[in-house]
Structure 1
Amino acid sequence: MVKDLRDFLAEVDAIGELETFKGAHWNHEIGAVTELVAEKGSGRGGPACLFDDIEGYPSGFRVLSNTFGSIERSRITLGKPEGTTAMEMVDQWRKDMKAEPWSDEGGSGDGTTLVEDPTPEVAPILENVDAGDDVDVTKFPVPVWHAQDEDNRYIGTGCTILTKDPDTGWVNLGVYRSSIIDEQTVTMGIWPGKDGLVTMRKYHERGEDCPIAMVVGLDPWTWLASTITLHRQESEYEVAGWLQGEPIPVIEAPDTGLPIPANAEIALEGYLPPLSEERCTDGPFGEWPGYSTPPHPDLPVMHVTNVMHRDDPILLGQPPLRPPALYTLGVPVRTAGGVWNQLEDGGVPSVTGVWSHVIERPMFLVVSIEQEYAGHAKQAGLGAVSTPNGSYGGRYVVVVDDDVDVTNLDEVLWAMCTRCRAEDVEIVEGVYTSPLDPLVQDRERPTSGRVIVDATRPYDEEFPEAIAFPDDYREEVREKWGLDAVGI
């Protein structure tokens, strides 16, 4: 069974999607190789990149990037059988998320199992522990990921941030960027609207430091679970345990008691003092829209009290990249699956597919429907704009008929060019969005407009039939003439 990042890499290597680079420099060179590889195949190809013998660091101190950015690596992460299509992954993910199989009675509780009397043999994260004056986060070959990042070394990109609600004991897993300030302090980029910020403020309102842990090399399931949106007080660890197929083994961090994955590669723990006492400026840093974000002031500082890591540790790097290069999964299950479920929950019938193009955000979201009534397409478009997964970072929503493959941008553009009139385009103003949107003026109150494009056939009106043979005859011809064998 795949239990940690190293097992995952063995699976990736077995399908020929892992490439090792030796001797690269942490200052820009690792980032440039990552950028070039991730751009291969319109952002949905190129191998995972494992960097070793990094200049200035011991052999074995490694960096991994472009980890999940292909259909096949997404399939392995999601635990799907060979041959599963991208849309099948989205459909199954959203059905699973709706059914919540991880929270069934008799399941794994909070998704973790505590390692009793942990030793390095059963909890490899304890193979090396640095505390107090021995703490030095610069011992890891943290890259400068983008050309525009100046001298900022972001240790937290493919990271999971752990905080615990002081009132309920609920442990939240989130993903917030973090750069090195010095050997014992790092920035913590917790943006408005994030659960980690709510928890931090509870401590600070009591005049207390906020305990926090950051895992920067971990199994793909815990990282993926950290990126999804659940209701507050719901456990991302439960999702991680369900994805892995068994509870995630954890240890209690020495200082904070936070549950750290026992098989993690690298983990830091420490505290966030109140902003009235200490704050920092973070950035510039290249973010997911594909642009460099300016320095952001007034963010909390993490004081690191313990550093734990395995022998020959792997730093998981998930730097945002300029589209169409991907830095998350090669299949947008979180955005597309979330919007699909939320549309159905909102009463929009006969949704047949949802996909997010450009990036794993709803900036260019496509929804396909089987039209049932006049106004059905407009309802789907307005609904997608209003969903939690469709609003944060959104820009365009295109609604198409069910004969259009939402994953195929050429087909989507064909529908837009042949089924959409000027009057079928609508603009909605003032929708909640991400403060990282490059067009947002007020980052404390981020809103933006949305464009809804109805690219469906006019309902109940005469419209030409599209040119195409029936699917069953196409498959018959494909098999008869061996077209699969020649890549057609």
Structure 2
Amino acid sequence: MLSDLREFVEMVDDEGELARLDGVDWNLELGAVTEVVAEREDGPALLFDDIVDYSSGFRVLTNPFGTIARTKLGLNMEPSLGPLEVIDTWRTESNDYEGVSPTEVGADGAPIRENVHMGADVDVTAIPAPRWHAHDGGRYIGTGCTVITEDPDTGWVNLGVYRSVILDDESVSVLFLPGKDGRITMEKYHERGKPCPVAIVLGEDPHTWFASSMTAGRQESEYELAGWMRGEPVPVVESEYTGLPVPATAEIVLEGTVPPLSERNCSDGPFGEWPGYATPASENQPVLEIETITHRDDPILLGIPPLKPPGGYYEVPIRTAGGVWNQLENAGISGITGVWSHVFERPQFLTISIEQQYPGHAKQVATAAATVPNGVYGGRYTIVVDDDVNVTDTEDVLWALCTRCNVEEIDVIRDLYTSPLDPVSDEGEAKSSRMVMNACRPYEERDLFPTVNRADDELRERVLEEWNLDEI
């Protein structure tokens, strides 16, 4: 269990997976350093201080979950688990999920209240928000953030990740996309002619950030999900201006209100997004008018900017792969032995391994996986392989695709729901097509299919140990 972001930094440092860099420029250089390091399989987490134009103490953390080991730490998973075991453990444990409600603490016990800026003291540009990519339309302060809203009808508190760019000293954008919980809540206030209270957390404990990046479900609590991941309640404190519950150990919190779009809106973008492209500016977007900024002493801004795939926010695709696996089994489809997403924690390149049980089994799995909730949004290619293929190994999957897939049997499913950030989605509509591919041995001929030309596992393990092959 991690109590806050600082404890995570300390633990990562103890494991030798943290690099400290002083004097880096916030304007493109910090983003480029992050990009180059994140592209390495063993790239460390990066803690920047003495950032150009800023005094020592206002820090930025990037690439926090850029290795499987750090992702497991952030998820509170056993260090010994392999990548697919993390997915399987997460999804099976989540079947017995019982949320752990947050616990409220007083302001005196909340480190986030160590510094409070209100009124004329509000200046969001005092935080060293980077300009991450060359084509970005501004300094995106909200990337590794948690945006908090409260439903005016039910009191339900939602946590979500929505990007945010600095507009001026006292305001930032909040990209509430249509259909997302934050947008639905905001519109309820605006329908009443009222501004929507919002708090943006810029540096939370990993469990809370992971929970915010997942879909807990409408009227379900991400705070309870984070508490379940931690194994104990998340301590929250009533925020200074809006009264929204914010993590007591957060690093930085911006709070204020979002007025109706007819009163104020902004252009958000361009911005380098998760598909790997600079998405164009989006007009008529919400604006958070900041009334209060609170932060800890020597705060840490958590930066998790989208980078060109296959890199992602974290190295084990629990949200996509675990969700698809559970959704397939909940639909009554058996024989699933593994699920993996190979590109940016999205189902753009989704692979499912199965133990074939009947004719048409592979095609059924492929079609279902491409259309279940966690497999459809942003999806493109869905591949089903036999259980002798390692779904976490892209090269192994491509080998199966190139040797077991009959091209004539590839299917295309048209007009499925996707992300509006998908660069090939239909103009003006968030929909696109999917390709589903059966890369399994033909069921009726599986016993006649050529034998794989590879030493068996027992022999491989014996020679590995006997001849010290790991040291060669």
Which residue of structure 1 lines up, in the alignment, with residue 119 of structure 2?
132
Deviations 1:385-414 (A, max 9, x none): 111110111100011000000010111010
Give the secondary structure class of the aligned counterpart of 1:31.
helix
Q: How does 1:58-69 map to 2 (within 5 A)?
A: 58-69=55-66
Q: After TM superposition, give the deviation of residue 347 of structure 1 in Å.
A: 1.7
- Structure 2 letter corresponding to 1:275: L
Is residue 347 from structure 1 mapped to residue 337 from structure 2 by the alignment? no
Structure 2: how far apart are the matches of 1:411 and 1:456? Answer: 13
Q: After TM superposition, give the deviation of residue 275 of structure 1 in Å.
A: 1.1
Structure 1: how far apart are the matches of 2:85 and 2:471? Answer: 23
Q: 2:92 aligns with which of 91, 95, 118?
A: 95
- Structure 1 letter corresponding to 2:75: L
Is residue 299 from structure 1 mapped to residue 289 from structure 2 by the alignment? no
Structure 2: how far apart are the matches of 1:195 and 1:79? Answer: 26
Structure 2: how far apart are the matches of 1:270 and 1:386? Answer: 38
Q: 1:208 aligns with which of 181, 187, 194?
A: 194
Structure 2: how far apart are the matches of 1:243 and 1:344? Answer: 23
Give the secondary structure class of the aligned counterpart of 1:363.
strand
Q: How does 1:267-286 map to 2 (within 5 A)?
A: 267-286=253-272
Which residue of structure 2 lines up, in the alignment, with residue 50 of structure 1?
47
Q: After TM superposition, give the deviation of residue 325 of structure 1 in Å.
A: 2.6
Which residue of structure 2 lines up, in the alignment, with residue 24 of structure 1?
24
Q: After TM superposition, give the deviation of residue 484 of structure 1 in Å.
A: 3.6
Is residue 325 from structure 1 mapped to residue 315 from structure 2 by the alignment? no
Deviations 1:118-161 (A, max 9, x none): 21xx21101100011211100000000001114x0001000000
Is residue 114 from structure 1 mapped to residue 104 from structure 2 by the alignment? yes
- Alpha-carbon RMSD across the aligned residues, in angstroms, is 1.1
Q: How does 1:28-427 map to 2 (within 5 A)?
A: 28-41=28-41, 45-100=42-97, 102-103=98-99, 108=100, 110=101, 112-116=102-106, 118-119=107-108, 122-150=109-137, 152-326=138-312, 328-427=313-412
Which residue of structure 2 lines up, in the alignment, with residue 440 of structure 1?
425
Is residue 463 from structure 1 mapped to residue 436 from structure 2 by the alignment? no
Q: After TM superposition, give the deviation of residue 433 of structure 1 in Å.
A: 0.2
| Residue pair 1:35, 1:325 contacting (<8 A) in 2 also | no
Q: After TM superposition, give the deviation of residue 230 of structure 1 in Å.
A: 1.9
Q: Could you state the TM-score of these two structures normalised by the residue count of structure 2? A: 0.98
Which residue of structure 1 lines up, in the alignment, with residue 462 of structure 2?
476
Give the secondary structure class of the aligned counterpart of 1:334.
helix
Structure 1: how far apart are the matches of 2:469 and 2:88? Answer: 28
Structure 1 stretches lacking a partner, 5+ long: none
- Structure 2 letter corresponding to 1:171: V
Give the secondary structure class of the aligned counterpart of 1:68.
coil
Structure 2: how far apart are the matches of 1:157 and 1:307? Answer: 17
- Structure 2 letter corresponding to 1:440: S
Give the secondary structure class of the aligned counterpart of 2:202.
strand
Misfit runs of 4+, over 4 Å: none
Q: Percent identity?
A: 57
Q: 1:449 aligns with which of 433, 441, 459?
A: 433
Q: After TM superposition, give the deviation of residue 485 of structure 1 in Å.
A: 4.2
- Structure 2 letter corresponding to 1:74: T
Return 288-297 or 476-485, whichever deviates more: 476-485
Q: After TM superposition, give the deviation of residue 336 of structure 1 in Å.
A: 0.5
Deviations 1:87-119 (A, max 9, x none): 11011111122221x33xxxx3x2x11003x21
- Structure 1 letter corresponding to 2:401: M
| Residue pair 2:75, 2:206 contacting (<8 A) in 1 also | no
| Residue pair 2:2, 2:206 contacting (<8 A) in 1 also | no
Q: After TM superposition, give the deviation of residue 82 of structure 1 in Å.
A: 2.6
- Structure 2 letter corresponding to 1:370: E
Q: After TM superposition, give the deviation of residue 244 of structure 1 in Å.
A: 1.6
- Structure 1 letter corresponding to 2:468: G
Q: Could you state the TM-score of these two structures normalised by the residue count of structure 1? A: 0.94
Q: After TM superposition, give the deviation of residue 480 of structure 1 in Å.
A: 2.6
| Residue pair 1:424, 1:455 contacting (<8 A) in 2 also | no
| Residue pair 2:335, 2:356 contacting (<8 A) in 1 also | yes
Structure 2 stretches lacking a partner, 5+ long: none
Structure 1: how far apart are the matches of 2:134 and 2:259? Answer: 31
Q: After TM superposition, give the deviation of residue 258 of structure 1 in Å.
A: 0.6
Give the secondary structure class of the aligned counterpart of 2:443.
coil
Is residue 12 from structure 1 mapped to residue 12 from structure 2 by the alignment? yes
Give the secondary structure class of the aligned counterpart of 2:451.
coil
